[in-house]
Amino acid sequence: MSRKYQVISGDGHVETPPDPWVRHVPEKYRDRAPRLIKLPDGHGDAWMVEGQPLLPTGQNITGPGPIKFADASYTFDDGSPREGTGDARQRLEEQDRDGIDAEVLFPPVFATRFIEGISDRDVYRSIVRAYNTFLAEDYCSVAPDRLIGSAFVPVSGIDDAIAELEYAKAAGLKSVTLQQFPNGTGKPSREDDRFWERALELGMALSPHISFGDRTAAQLAVGASRAADSVASAITQHTGTCPPAYCLAQMIMAGVFDRFPEIRFYFAEINGAHLPAILYYMDRDFTCYNEWFQAELPRMPSEYIKTHCLFGIIRDPLALRMGDFMPLDWFMWGSDFPHSVGTYPRSRQFIDELFADVDEKVRRRILLENPAEYFGLDLDADITPTPTH
């Protein structure tokens, strides 16, 4: 029976153990790749990653629950994979069980942030490439219209970032996820323009998970300079630590959106109820403080954000009650499966409750049209059926 998209999750995670993708690491580097070990006395699994303390497995493989911050395992007692930790076929079956039709799939935390401590650049790059190869060839290829993988971009410099962007495109992936700015640091640089330009040329979706770069602004000192980063710090000092406020302020003040008027970013899992405050305080503080900074912007900060960004919500009913303060049609919904705040296996029930008082056009925009347009999906096409065993 043919089947079309009804619900697209804009936020899921590939949380397999390392073995399926570490096998793509060249043999000469494989002994320095992450590995999973069993902890003694029934305390679950842990990752061993160069440059990091032992990382016990926890809430990232919650699945249907209960949530465990430690002592969790990727497998059941019989050795079979838990929900969200298996292969692509298992993932499609889990989509069916949850009442969704496709997912945007972000990389696991232990395969992104935590490998940044690997000191050898060649080893580090080989591990990044191994994961992205696994994602494209072994996982998403089973049903690329339903398993929408986002490759991750290395933090080893602009040339490596562009090379991985081009590899992801050639491998058939639709999106990339940034951890830092393309130059490899927490702050924007004009050399990043090479990456932004190439991403636009390739038509690759830019999909940071929550944020990228430095997560919080530096404390403003007395007599703050008039440099762009000081302005970014000033106009976010009343947004608290809510990501991605500082990242956005950095790009606004660095002129990224002015130089690239077509660029867009999708920030997944940002707790959308914070957004009205972010928009208001960034505009207010830019106006209030600009007598000192004398910064020239063609538009107010909130207008850049409304024009260039989409945002992901999960368990966030409060966000959908704030239509008087922000446009509701700039969201995507996500299940966050198999992470701890996710809605699996009751996503359809949660969606019905979340959208009970929301206009049907807005519901369709959030659940279907926004992810389809951003990631290049055809809502009229029949989607790949779940393979039968």
Strand partners, 8: 102
Residue 276 belongs to some domain of the structure: yes
Evaluate if pTM is beyond 0.75.
yes
Residue 274 belongs to some domain of the structure: yes
Residue 45 belongs to some domain of the structure: no
> What pLDDT shows up at residue 225?
65
Residue 388 belongs to some domain of the structure: no
Residue 65 belongs to some domain of the structure: no
Extract long-range pairs of 324-327: CB within 8 Å, 24+ residues apart: 325/276, 325/279, 325/280, 326/275, 326/276, 326/279
The tens-digit pLDDT sequence of the chain (389 residues) is: 789 999 999 999 999 999 999 999 999 999 999 999 999 998 999 999 999 999 999 999 999 999 999 999 999 999 999 999 999 999 999 999 999 999 999 999 888 889 999 999 999 999 999 999 999 999 999 999 999 999 999 999 999 999 999 999 999 999 999 999 999 999 999 999 999 999 999 999 999 999 999 987 776 654 556 678 888 988 898 887 789 999 999 999 999 999 999 999 999 999 899 999 999 999 999 999 998 889 999 999 999 999 999 999 999 999 999 888 888 889 999 999 999 999 999 999 999 999 999 999 999 999 999 999 999 999 999 999 999 86
Strand ranges (DSSP E) for 218-326? Answer: 265-267, 309-313
**Which residues lie closer than 8 Å to 286 by C-beta, 6 or more apart?**
231, 235, 295, 297, 300, 301
> What pLDDT shows up at residue 239?
86
The answer to whether residues 92 and 142 touch, using CB atoms and an 8 Å cutoff, is yes
The answer to whether residues 209 and 268 touch, using CB atoms and an 8 Å cutoff, is yes
In total, how many domains does the chain have?
Answer: 1
> What pLDDT shows up at residue 228?
81
Per-residue burial over 133-155, b if 16 or more Cβ lie within 10 Å, else e, is: bbbbebbbebbbbbbbbbbbbbb
Q: CATH no. for residue 246?
A: 3.20.20.140
Residue 58 belongs to some domain of the structure: no
Using a 10 angstrom Cβ sphere, with 0-12 exposed, 13-18 middle and 19 or more buried, the burial of residue 279 is buried
Residue 70 belongs to some domain of the structure: no
Q: Which domain holds residue 251?
A: 8-13+88-375
> What pLDDT shows up at residue 372?
98
Residue 56 belongs to some domain of the structure: no
Question: Could you tell me which of 280, 360, 267 has the C-alpha nearest to residue 325?
Answer: 280
